[in-house]
Amino acid sequence: MLSKRYEDDGRPTYALNELQLVTKRQIGEKIKQGIYRFESVPCCVCQRSDFELLSRKDRYGLYMPVVICRYCGLIQTNPRMNQDSYSQFYRQEYRKLYNGVEIPTEGFFAVEYKRGRAIYDYLIRKNILPGLSLRPFVLEVGCSAGGILHYFREKGCRVKGVDLDEEYVQYGRERHHLDLSVGTVHDVALCDTPDIIIYADVLEHILSPSSELIRVRQILSGQGVLYVELPGVKNLFPFYRDFMRLLQNAHTFHFSLATLVNLLELYGFRLVAGDEAIRSVFQKAEPSAHTVEIKNDYVSAMCYLKRWEKLRMFFPFPPGEFNQLPKVVTLNVLVKLLKLTRLYNFVAGIYHRLKSRGKPL
């Protein structure tokens, strides 16, 4: 494991509201009683089972064994809940645990709308949209209440969304008149071929990415793009450099850009643009007789996680740009460093002597 704090002790990483605490207890009881069943599976990229354990719990303190594949570096939950267990979890507890509310709100929709703007602007910056039709058809898988699609619609796009949460789908339909339906990418009814397919914080939830990506490739237009956004394991700054804060029991996979590219290349996609955030754009690759080469991200991922596990205590605030240490060390950090090097008492003594003599500090 990365450290002792990743043991399955039931302790959450941060404060939960009353609804989240009740929901967490319900999930924990279902795990203890065997209602939620777990299964061990090989790595979905390299099909091997050579894993190293990283954690036994998630950020809510729920049982969640997280491992890294030594052969390709993909981090994943394994053993994980089976499909029946996940289906029940998403119907009964998912939104309550993750959003801390029982019903969709306009505030939640506004956050998703703002996210839609960020995705649209990203596609503009990467020069993706000009290569598509004048009124591109956008399909979002896992659209929730449709806030992202609402922004794309305002920009002149034709939109369609699909999600498993009936309550959120109904909210988007009735309050914002969006074309949303309950279901998955496998059963969505399409009136046209999508030019853009969006997976925003969705792909990491899917148990069988192989069948999902095969279906996406079938329905995506020839020059169309697949946009994938999810929390990257090499971008811990949004999580205060704490890997534990990234872990959620609903996430079956935890990607870096390299492991995401490995997966997408296996199913006929090539990377157009991407970063460790992860915001990424893929297009269909040309059919090739060559075997896809899997790049091993194990060493790089482990070095990154171990480094921040050691350093995270010294940085109470996110330092800013990805993979860069802050240029200014705060007083809090300096005090911690002095205590570790046993110079704290010496420096503190000098400080108090100067202060008592009225010297400027």
pLDDT in tens, 167-177: 999 999 999 99
**Is residue 190 pLDDT above 70, yes or no?**
yes
* Alpha-carbon span 81 to 37, nearest angstrom: 5
Report pLDDT for 240: 86
Same domain? For 336 and 218 the reply is no
Same domain? For 110 and 84 the reply is no
Per DSSP, which regions of the chain are E strands? 38-39, 51-57, 63-69, 75-77, 80-81, 137-141, 158-163, 180-182, 196-200, 225-229, 253-254, 269-274, 279-284
The tokens for 346 are 């010496």
* Alpha-carbon span 51 to 93, nearest angstrom: 29
Of 141 and 13, more confident: 141
| 317-352 tens-digit pLDDT | 544 433 333 334 445 555 665 566 666 677 677 767
Our CA angle for 174, 87, 196, nearest 5°, is 55
Of 217 and 105, more confident: 217
- Across the range 139-148, mean pLDDT stands at 96
Of 34 and 129, more confident: 34
* Alpha-carbon span 161 to 345, nearest angstrom: 61
* Alpha-carbon span 53 to 204, nearest angstrom: 19
Last residue of a domain, one of 100, 130, 159: 100
Of 110 and 331, more confident: 110
H helices, E strands: number in the chain: 12, 13
**Is residue 287 pLDDT above 70, yes or no?**
yes
Same domain? For 132 and 151 the reply is yes
Same domain? For 83 and 134 the reply is no
Same domain? For 83 and 111 the reply is no
Does some domain include residue 204? yes
Is it true that the peptide bond before 119 is cis, omega within 30 degrees of 0?
no
| 18-66 tens-digit pLDDT | 999 999 999 999 999 999 999 999 999 999 999 999 999 999 999 999 9
* Alpha-carbon span 178 to 296, nearest angstrom: 42
The tokens for 203 are 């792909």
Query: Please, what is the angle between helix 331-340 and helix 344-356, to 10°?
Result: 130
Contact indicator for 229, 236 with CB cutoff of 8 Å: no
| Amino acid type, 181 | S
Report pLDDT for 326: 39
SS3 of residue 144 by DSSP:
coil
Question: How many structural domains compose the chain?
Answer: 3
Whole domain around residue 75: which residue ranges? 4-100
The sign of the torsion formed by the CA atoms of 44, 45, 51, 57 equals: negative
Report pLDDT for 232: 97
* Alpha-carbon span 136 to 194, nearest angstrom: 8
Full-model pTM: 0.85
Last residue of a domain, one of 100, 135, 152: 100
Q: DSSP class of residue 5? A: G
Report pLDDT for 10: 95
Residue 43 CB contacts under 8 Å (≥ 6 apart), including other chains: 49, 51, 69, 71, 72, 74, 76
Nearest of 270, 287, 224, 251 to residue 75 by alpha carbon? 251
- The chain-wide mean pLDDT, for the chain, equals 89
Name the percent of the chain lying above pLDDT 70.
87
Does some domain include residue 306? no
Nearest of 254, 246, 247, 240 to residue 311 by alpha carbon? 240
**Is residue 132 pLDDT above 50, yes or no?**
yes
Does some domain include residue 309? no
Q: Which of 181-185, 271-275, 325-329 has the lowest mean pLDDT?
A: 325-329
Same domain? For 128 and 235 the reply is yes
Residue 249 CB contacts under 8 Å (≥ 6 apart), including other chains: 27, 58, 60, 62, 63, 64, 77, 81
What are residue 281's phi and psi, to 5 degrees? -130, 130
